[in-house]
Amino acid sequence: MLKPTIGLEIHIEAKTNSKMFCSCKNDPEEKEPNKNICPVCLGHPGALPTINRSAIEKIILAGLALNCEIKNYSRFDRKSYFYPDLPKGYQISQFDFPICKDGYLDVHLDDGTIKRIRINRIHMEEDTARLVHEGPSTLVDFNRSSVPLMELVTEPDINSAEEAKKFAQELQLILKYNDISGANMEKGQMRCEVNISLSDTEKLGTKVEVKNLNSFKAVEKSIEYEIKRQKEIIEKGGKVKQETRGWYDDKQITMDQREKEDAFEYRYFPDPDLPPLNISDEEIEKIKKRLVELPEQKRKRFKEEYNLDDKSIEFYINEPSLADYFEKVISELDCWKKHKNCEKDSIKVCSNYIVTDLQAIIKNDPNFTSIDERITPENFAELVSMLENNEISSNIAKIILLEMYKTKGDPSNILKEKGLSQITDDSEIESIVKSVIEENTKAVSDYKAGKTNSFMFLVGQVMAKSKGKITPQKAEEIIKKLI
- What is the binding site for Zn ion (CB under 5 A)? 22, 24, 38, 40-41
Q: How far is the CB of 22 from Zn ion (least distance, A)?
A: 3
CA 115 vs CA 106, 164, 220: distances in Å: 5, 11, 17
- CB count within 10 Å of CB 269 equals 12
- As measured in angstroms, the least distance from the Cβ of 272 to Zn ion is 20
Nearer to Zn ion, 40 or 119 (CB): 40
β-strand pairing of 148-154 with 137-141: unpaired
247 HSE (CA, 13 A, CB side): 26
Burial of residue 219 (CB within 10 Å: 0-12, 13-18, 19+) is buried
As measured in angstroms, the least distance from the Cβ of 43 to Zn ion is 10
**Choice between 121 and 144, CB closer to Zn ion:** 144
d(CA 263, CA 58): 31
Count other C-beta atoms under 10 Å from residue 188's C-beta.
Answer: 15
Q: How many CA atoms lie within 13 A of 56 on its CB side?
A: 22
Measuring CA to CA, which residue among 69, 8, 13, 22 is closest to residue 50?
22
Amino acid in the structure at residue 183: A
Q: C-alpha distances in angstroms, 448 versus 263, 437, 459, 475?
A: 82, 12, 15, 17
Cβ-contact 465, 431 below 8 angstroms: no
> Which CB sits closer to Zn ion, 92 or 420?
92
User: By C-beta, is 17 or 278 nearer to Zn ion?
Assistant: 17
Identify which of residues 41 and 66 has a Cβ nearer to Zn ion in the complex: 41
Find the shortest distance in angstroms from Cβ 19 to Zn ion: 5
Q: What are phi and psi of 179, to 5 degrees?
A: 55, 35
Do 98 and 128 touch, CB atoms closer than 8 A?
no
Q: Pick the closer one to Zn ion by CB: 126 or 220.
A: 126
Q: How far is the CB of 288 from Zn ion (least distance, A)?
A: 31
What's at 255, amino acid-wise?
Answer: M
Q: Which is nearer to Zn ion, 40 or 105 (CB)?
A: 40
